[in-house]
Amino acid sequence: MSSSGEHPPRPSGRAGVIPRSSEATTAGAVALVARRRVAQPNGWWGMALFVASEATLFGTLIATYFYLDFNAPRWPPAGIKAPSVVLPLIATAVLVSTTVPMFLSVRAARAGYAGLAARFVGAALLVQCIYLAGQILLFRHDLNDFRPDQSAYASIYFTTLAAHHAHVLLGILLNGWVAARIGIGGLTTYRLTAVRCVALYWYVVNALAVLVVLTQLSPSL
């Protein structure tokens, strides 16, 4: 327990010491900072705004999908099968399930359990890699049936999927980095914020995955 903080100049309704968060480099100190802090850390706000921006990007993609859909006499156009429903929904469920280990990793990190937090992230990472590998195979399979340079439907279909997969890939890289940093180097306040941020990223990406799959499957639903 370090007393490397300051006493607030006026009564602030909270007794005690204001933490110098970057001086918390042991798991216990980090857990203490996490308990004392009232507001969300800056990094969390930054990630929240970043995912708001990315969500708006996907909003634009989804809006474009339905704009082109409403404009078209036939959707999908003649020659393209309506998408199959079962496999994409199962895959999405698999991805969404990784929300659980991400959530648990945050709980573990806040309580000061670095190794456990890293393992939860690792578990999520494994499932997400399997998901992405499967999705890439499906993507290539679709490309054999119809190509984005043939119709507006194909253009928006493949672009939306590619955008989603790119975000999953970014999340996988973030997970790898966070798991390594915490698993090997231990917890600091910075890395606690990092795992919270990456978890937030995944919550939003997973929610968007549901919206994306429902959009893409809308002709068949």
Amino acid found at 149 = D
Q: How far is CA 133 from CA 67, 138, 169, 188, 207, in A?
A: 30, 9, 10, 33, 20
- Nearest distance from C-beta of residue 86 to other proteins, angstroms: 27
Choice between 23 and 145, CB closer to other proteins: 23
- Nearest distance from C-beta of residue 148 to other proteins, angstroms: 5
- Judge whether 136 and 165 are in contact, CB under 8 Å: yes
- Nearest distance from C-beta of residue 189 to other proteins, angstroms: 5
Q: Which residues bind other proteins (CB under 8 A)?
A: 4-6, 8-10, 12-14, 18-23, 33, 36-39, 41-43, 45-46, 49-50, 52-54, 56-57, 59-61, 64, 67-68, 71-72, 77, 148-156, 159, 173, 177, 188-194
User: How far is Cα of residue 172 from the mean position of the Cα atoms in its chain?
Assistant: 9
- Judge whether 161 and 208 are in contact, CB under 8 Å: no
Choice between 178 and 213, CB closer to other proteins: 178
Q: Rounded CA gap, 67 and 221, in Å?
A: 18
Choice between 99 and 186, CB closer to other proteins: 186
- Nearest distance from C-beta of residue 200 to other proteins, angstroms: 14
Choice between 91 and 202, CB closer to other proteins: 202
- Judge whether 179 and 118 are in contact, CB under 8 Å: yes
